Amino acid sequence: MNPILFVVLLTAATGVGGLALGGVLAVLLKRESPRGTSLLLSFTAGLMLAIVALDMVPEAVEASPWLPMTPLVLVAGFAATYLLNCWIDKSAHHEDKNNPRHCACGHHDLHTAGIVLAAAVALHNVPVGMAVGASVAVEGICLASVLTAATIGLHNLPEGMSIAIPLLHDGSRPWSATAVAALSGLPTVLGALAGYFVGSGAPAALAAALALAGGAMLYVVFFELLPESALQWKSRWPILATVLGFALGVLLIFAHGRH
């Protein structure tokens, strides 16, 4: 299969499809399960950490012409994603005092809350999608690329639910709420294509693409997935889910390497 077509199909399935499936789950369940959401977020965080630490960063170091380049660009990717999310929060003027990531709906209705959250998810899916494109540029069509995309799909399930739930409670039709959630995944495809074309160029550009995407994924893990998991369920079980996710990532990455 053509690598570009593979990137588009894979990210459409996991980015758009993951958010759409989250919307469908919201329609079926009508409400989020805090414990289930917490475990899913923690498990996904563990998988992402394994991919960044054991797959993306080593590949970036190997491709980099200058050793300090990888950690510097990794931090830059983290910082850029952080600033992007700060800008989103500031533009939305839409924060809950107890949970700044979720809509307080003080002066907005629930419909607006869902739309604002969908826009936020769409924007931060661009750098996250770069991880898939850069992975395909490095290793071609392989298990590592599919694994990277699968973690994005898992990460998108609770986000799709978070987008659809306020829309449903505000009276939106189920298909409309699901469509809004799905459309917020389209930038994942654009980010993946950008990561692929940058990664297909010079080794320095490849290293930069991997490190930038890795930094974005680290932001998602430490500033979104793990804090949200702790808010959903204050227990030791989510920690165990993170360890299990990391262990599965280690198993799949090194099994692929040996093969």
pLDDT in tens, 12-62: 998 899 899 988 987 887 656 788 878 878 887 888 788 889 887 888 898
Q: Which long-range contacts (CB under 8 A, 24 or more apart) does 221-225 make?
A: 221/45, 221/48, 221/49, 221/52, 223/82, 223/85, 224/101, 225/41, 225/42, 225/44, 225/45, 225/48, 225/155
Predicted pLDDT of residue 201: 66
Q: Is the pLDDT of residue 170 over 80?
A: no
Q: In the predicted model, what is the mean pLDDT of the chain?
A: 79
Decide if 56 contacts 214 (C-beta within 8 A): yes
3-state SS string over 92-127? HCCCCCCCCCCCCCCCCCHHHHHHHHHHHHHHHHHH
Decide if 18 contacts 179 (C-beta within 8 A): no
Predicted pLDDT of residue 171: 74
CA distance 5 to 22: 25
| Cα angle for residues 116, 118, 124 (degrees, 5° grid) | 105
Confidence of residue 247 (pLDDT cuts 50, 70, 90): very high
Average pLDDT for 113-123: 68
Q: Looking at this protein, which amino acid is placed at residue 55? A: D
Predicted pLDDT of residue 124: 64
Distance between alpha carbon 141 and the CA centroid of its chain, in Å? 20
Predicted pLDDT of residue 107: 39
pTM exceeds 0.85 for this model:
no
CB atoms within 10 A of CB 175: 11
CA distance 165 to 19: 12
Average pLDDT for 168-182: 84
- Write down the domain spans for the chain: 3-258
Tokens standing for residue 175: 């298909």
